[in-house]
Chain A
């Protein structure tokens, strides 16, 4: 393990998160969530530290991190906009929102050039009676029109 500045801070974040969940059974997921909450992602340098904390192989930890959609390897933009693409929102034109995002220069899966916003897809936000639904940084929005998505992408609402 190297001793570069960032490495030490990643290591300390991981060790602190692991310590906070020490008493829990099978706590890898809560620890990964905690690491991501602090660092914005689960960086590569976190893997060996997690392996050490959980007495697992690096491959095992890597396998878990990459299995779940939520865990990102690099931080997202300053704001994350998730467009629901599941059936109930499809029935109300979710695809129009996906096209709109693409035409606005931030297609699903990408971050705007200035790092302001990352656009992602999600399958159901539990708001299926008030679709199309979009989530912005954990906040749910219902009946989202393309115009409103534009405002959400620009951060003007």
Chain B
């Protein structure tokens, strides 16, 4: 029998959510029936999520894509010559030449969708471990210096320079610093964000490599990935990858033959949004309620179990190997102002072409939403986009020329956050969105500080009164006061930033708050289990 043709069908959970498993099974079945020789490989997703399930066939002309494919399409595709890249209405051409993908600058996501995520051979063949090998050849302080020089800032939301955090942990010496930890924040609770999930499902060894580099750089011996329970596929993939990495000598005693000992574990969250806040995450990792800690002390000095701890987001840690492999200069050359390198933007909500757009900082929101995203899925006009998750601002179309840059966003009273962009069409009720922001805060507050715990509950009531037209002016003033209080008085950014979506909705869409109507029929968000 001839060599089987390799056909890639993503195993990414977004692709699976629209039928990738059924497509893979149909191809497998066709192969087993003997008429076609097919080897199905389950890759990550390229991030062109509207094309999922996106099937790729390895041909002499490169990897030819077809999508979105359903299981029912499979017989017809095979008959049309799928295995040699034959013509078909679903044929997209060479995947790496799709304009949507070719225009991007895939740095962190370079391998996602390309390789078999759990194949160590694929990983190394596509440049994996170059960063770790380079790091292990350097003194820890030099690794930290390179990360600092690259300009890499934390991708979890706050944008704190990664190198500076690492330096603090490295410099913790002596008593109490016998044990240090690397904690990866994989809680990714923000609506509209899924890049952490996709890189963990699509290139898990990259996160392991990044964490091992961090361990070498600061002198840590143990690592944890705090991964939300809503991501069962990512949990399974990371656990499998950790086991494989141990077998390969990429983890454990003497990593890659060096003197570095590093152990890594996945810890599964339990459905509390606040546990994405780093100090709450540390308490949760210690087996406690996820209560936010007052800072100082900062986690870099007194973190997990009181030990010096690096806490970084998945995308921060998965970018580190690239910085070490290609040098800080190459990374630093990308971007604008103090936002260096690339950001992995995530387009979601009511958008025609949703997915991952990795590109240098500085691209405008309009380019993302219109050029990459193709406008709304519903076909109605875009009215607003919420950028940076549930604590981020709602921006009106008039502000879509803002460059995606931490400082430019901050100046506009918005935030870039984790790079999520959620698009809404003109049917959105902004008063309902503002109310939801307060409700979400009330529901997910850890309860430690009063401005957040009580303020959010009051916020819901006040918005209801404004919309109902009861003492409208007084209640608008009250809402302003409440927002000030939450911003200034909350212990962490949960309460501190909840006013951002509320105020932006109010500032840009005041008509939605005119009194005398009942709020849209939105079902109250009431708690089901737990209290976090």
Whether B287 lies near A86 (C-beta < 8 A) is no
15 contacts between A and B (CB under 8 A): A26-B285, A29-B287, A64-B287, A68-B272, A86-B390, A91-B424, A91-B428, A99-B523, A122-B230, A123-B440, A124-B191, A124-B192, A128-B192, A129-B50, A131-B348
* 5 residue pairs, one from A and one from B, having the closest CB atoms: A129-B354, A128-B348, A28-B287, A86-B191, A68-B270
Most buried by A among B14, B346, B390, B526: B14
Q: Is B530 on the interface with A (CB-CB < 8 A)? A: yes
Whether A69 lies near B272 (C-beta < 8 A) is yes
Whether B390 lies near A87 (C-beta < 8 A) is yes
With a cutoff of 8 Å between Cβ atoms, the chain A residues found around residue B229 in the complex are 33, 70
With a cutoff of 8 Å between Cβ atoms, the chain A residues found around residue B194 in the complex are 126-129
Interface of B is mostly: loop
Contact A127/B17 with A85-B525, A86-B191 known, Cβ cut-off 8 Å: yes
With a cutoff of 8 Å between Cβ atoms, the chain B residues found around residue A63 in the complex are 289
Q: Is B262 on the interface with A (CB-CB < 8 A)? A: no
Whether A29 lies near B18 (C-beta < 8 A) is no
With a cutoff of 8 Å between Cβ atoms, the chain A residues found around residue B355 in the complex are 129
User: Which residues, 335 to 377 on B, are CB-close (under 8 Å) to A?
Assistant: 346-351, 354-355, 377
Residues of B within 8 A of A (CB): 13-14, 16-18, 49-50, 52, 188-194, 197, 229-233, 265, 267-273, 284-290, 305, 346-351, 354-355, 377, 386, 390, 420, 422-425, 428, 433, 436, 440, 444, 521-523, 525-532
With a cutoff of 8 Å between Cβ atoms, the chain B residues found around residue A143 in the complex are 17-18
Which residue of chain B has the shortest Cβ distance to A135 in the bound complex? B230
What 1/0 flags go to A66-88 for Cβ under 8 Å of B? 11111111000000000001111
Which residue of chain B has the shortest Cβ distance to A92 in the bound complex? B350
* Among candidates B16, B17, B525, B529, residue contacting A69 with C-beta atoms closer than 8 Å: B529
Whether B271 lies near A70 (C-beta < 8 A) is yes
| Beyond known contacts A33-B229, A140-B16: 17 more, CB 8 A cutoff | A27-B287, A30-B268, A67-B532, A68-B290, A69-B529, A69-B530, A86-B390, A90-B436, A92-B377, A95-B522, A123-B189, A126-B194, A127-B194, A128-B194, A129-B194, A129-B354, A140-B233
Most buried by A among B230, B289, B527: B230
Which residue of chain A has the shortest Cβ distance to B447 in the bound complex? A67
Alpha-carbon distance A99/B523, docked complex (angstroms):
8
* Among candidates B17, B523, B531, residue contacting A67 with C-beta atoms closer than 8 Å: B531
Interchain nearest-CB distance for B186 vs A (Å): 11
Interchain nearest-CB distance for B496 vs A (Å): 19
* Among candidates A68, A92, A95, A131, residue contacting B271 with C-beta atoms closer than 8 Å: A68
Q: Is A5 on the interface with B (CB-CB < 8 A)? A: no
Q: Is A106 on the interface with B (CB-CB < 8 A)? A: no
With a cutoff of 8 Å between Cβ atoms, the chain B residues found around residue A54 in the complex are 287
Which residue of chain B has the shortest Cβ distance to A122 in the bound complex? B230
With a cutoff of 8 Å between Cβ atoms, the chain B residues found around residue A39 in the complex are none
